[in-house]
Structure 1
Amino acid sequence: MRKKRILVTGGCGFIGSRVVQRLLATPHAIFVIDDLSRADRSAIPEGLVDLKVCDIRSEAAREYIREIAPHFVIHLAAQIDVQVSIAEQLLDADINIMGTLNVMEACKQVADFERFVFASSAAVYGNNAELPLTEDAIPMPISPYGMSKWMGEEYLKLNHETADFPYCALRFANVYGEKGTAAKDVISEFWDKVTSGESPVIHGDGEQTRDFVYVEDIAEALVLALDVQENGIYNISTDEQTSINDVLRVMSELLQVQVVPENRMARVGDVRDSRLSNRKFLEMTCWQPLHRLAKGLERMHVEKQNQEMVLMK
């Protein structure tokens, strides 16, 4: 295998650091852009990865991309909080649309560029009731975050059509795992509350459903996407629905604790139900999600215990 140069934006983050670890097992040269606003430099090994600390919207990011001339980019750097996107729409659009365009435009200047792998989201589907959702479903985002991710896809599609720009957009279902300093999701928020003996907050009746996919399965899909030759959009999911109430039940059984949740009003921007068909990506790559929810939570538990042991030493 010929050695290639691979750039991971957001490579010190929750998903990015795991992608980097997988790429380090290959013969390729690995580069990272991260502004370290929600990540730590220690998430990736020093000496094995070249790290550029900068914002994806900056001239410094464009210069770095021109300098290293990557063959591939895995673009993970983003504003990912739905509620933040509602409160700060300009910020969300600036990072997720303008930041993506900044990285993409720099890649277009690289002579031997081979593929742009874009981290998109199930949020582009909104409250589409045709479950399981396939990639052909009409996007109906109900949050600025979902809209900004959809716009990123549309710019990539347009540049493929007009400039033959090679891309692969992966629409992630609800990603979970040990997050450390990363932005919290329902599972990590539940975990923090349950382990501290507090009541976790459920927005709505708890019967809303999500398609929860473990972070290591996401990282594997991103690496496999580097070899996907068919430009377009692919769902990355388990193709299973789990209610928020069931998440709390499984977590309580694993941790052997009983807690009573606090129910609050449903939030603007949150979809009611979500389940994504993953058939298209499975047929293209033979990828399989290896972690159903219980197994993923068990791995998350072990990882947290290992971290606590390290801190105690």
Structure 2
Amino acid sequence: MTDPIPDPHLEQAAAQIRAARASDNRLAVEAFFDEPTNTASYVIHDPATRRAAIVDSVLDFDAASGRTSTASADAIIAFVKKEGLTVDWLLESHAHADHLSAAPYIQRELGGKLAIGREIVTVQNVFGKIFNFGTEFARDGSEFDRLFEDGDTFSVGSIPAMVLHVPGHTPADMAYVIGDVVFTGDTLFMPDFGTARADFPGGDARQLYHSIRRLLSLPDETRLFLCHDYKAPGRDTYAWETTVGAERAGNVHARDGVDEDAFVDMRTRRDATLSMPKLILPSVQVNMRAGNLPEPEENGRRYLKLPLDTL
């Protein structure tokens, strides 16, 4: 057996987590769960400086009527104002296929830089063709304020943060390691529900396996905050917080002992039985534009595209 390839970014993340756990100033996390899309959004902040970030916000969208609303985002904004926080970052873990991002709306209200992984340009190129967007769609990630690469660092107030690239669900998935906490996006779910699908354009089950094992190489006590929960069979309440140790011991798809080929076979077979998310077509075409809705046409109305017989 060959020795594992050194991963300096993972080693740095592990060191950051251990140092944060020894600190008196621990990241504060407030979750906001949107049941219609099964999405957990987060307001996180440094208690010492009151500087904050918002992770994976939701714009309410009714597909039947085509109406948008901001109740979910307004709850986040109200919390930030009530707590006296200053928002520095609006973090997107990837271009979501199950909800529209509210980041531009929140940014207008609270400020902050809107960030995502650099591989969003891959998603923009793939789906730009699917939606037949013209040359007016730049496909260079310029709609975002910051494009993160693997190992990039930033901070939330005085609390250090870094970014790990965890592709597989999509090419652009990022995990945010902030203090002793990791926001995993869609890569992992609760141990009793398993892992993300990998059959969207640009997805890859083998990449997903390696991304999961990368995250599960962090210290066992690392807190993981997930982007979704669907209440696994036998569980009556929603949950979105777990630990590396709990995932390694009990994840039904990716616990310790499940090898790469077994995971890929399981994931491929399972994904073949899944229908497309209800909001994938409106979500992706909005989220790859950093959550910006299409510009109004001559009649003053905005329109979303619906490619037929494609996905």
Superposition TM-score, scaled by structure 2 size: 0.31
Greater helix share, 1 or 2?
1
- State the TM-score, normalizing by the size of structure 1: 0.31
